[in-house]
Chain A
Amino acid sequence: MGVDESTYERLLKLSGEPTSEDSLHEIDALVAAQPTAKARLARIQAMLACLRSHHAVEPSASAKSAVARIAAEHANRASNRPGWLQQVQTALAELLFDSRLQPALGLRGDEPGFQLTYEGDFAEVDIDARPEDGGRWLLLGHISPREAILIDEVVLCPLHGDQSVPVDLNERGSFRLALAKARYDLVIRSGERAMLIREIELT
Chain B
Amino acid sequence: MSSPVRRTTLELISACRDGEQLAWNELVERYGRLVTSIASGYRFSQADVDDVFQTVFLRCFESLTGIGDPSKLSAWLITTTHRACWRLGKRSRRYRDFETNVADPAAPTADALIDGELQFLMNEALRELGGRCEDLLRAIYFEPSEPDYQMLADRLGISPNSVGPTKARCFEKLEYVLARRGFFGPGSKSDPNRTD
**Residue positions of A touching B, CB distance < 8 A:** 5, 8-9, 12-13, 39, 42-44, 46-47, 49-60, 62-64, 66-68, 70-72, 74-79, 85-92, 196, 198
Which 7 A-B pairs have CB atoms at the shortest separation, nearest pair first?
Answer: A42-B192, A78-B19, A79-B19, A46-B190, A71-B24, A9-B168, A63-B50
Instruction: Note all chain B residues with C-beta closer than 8 A to A55.
Output: 37, 40-41
CB of B53 within 8 Å of the partner chain: yes
Q: Which of B85-93, B97-105, B128-136, B171-179 interfaces with chain A?
A: B171-179
Contact of A12 among B39, B171, B189 (CB under 8 A): B171
Number of interface residues of B (CB under 8 A): 56
Q: List 10 A-B contacts (CB under 8 A).
A: A43-B192, A46-B183, A47-B122, A66-B50, A71-B61, A74-B61, A88-B65, A89-B65, A90-B65, A91-B62
Interface of A is mostly: helix
A50 to B123 CA separation, bound complex (whole angstroms): 10
**Residues B192 and A67 in contact, CB atoms below 8 Å apart:** no
**Residues A75 and B46 in contact, CB atoms below 8 Å apart:** no
Contact of B66 among A46, A52, A89, A198 (CB under 8 A): A89
Instruction: Note all chain B residues with C-beta closer than 8 A to A47.
Output: 122, 171, 174-175, 178, 183, 190
A60 to B49 CA separation, bound complex (whole angstroms): 9
A87 to B68 CA separation, bound complex (whole angstroms): 9
**Residue positions of B touching A, CB distance < 8 A:** 16-21, 23-25, 27-28, 32-33, 35-37, 39-41, 46, 49-50, 53-54, 57-59, 61-63, 65-66, 115, 118-119, 122-123, 137, 141-142, 164-165, 167-169, 171-172, 174-175, 178-179, 183-184, 189-190, 192
A71 to B183 CA separation, bound complex (whole angstroms): 30
**Residues B19 and A76 in contact, CB atoms below 8 Å apart:** yes
**Residues B33 and A66 in contact, CB atoms below 8 Å apart:** no
B15 nearest CB across to chain A (Å) = 10
Contact of A71 among B21, B53, B119, B171 (CB under 8 A): B21
B125 nearest CB across to chain A (Å) = 9
Q: Which residue of B lies closest to A60 (CB)?
A: B50
A67 to B16 CA separation, bound complex (whole angstroms): 14
Further pairs besides A13-B164, A55-B41, A75-B21: 4, Cβ < 8 Å: A47-B175, A60-B53, A75-B24, A86-B65
Instruction: Note all chain A residues with C-beta closer than 8 A to B27.
Output: 71
Contact of B119 among A9, A50, A64, A67 (CB under 8 A): A50
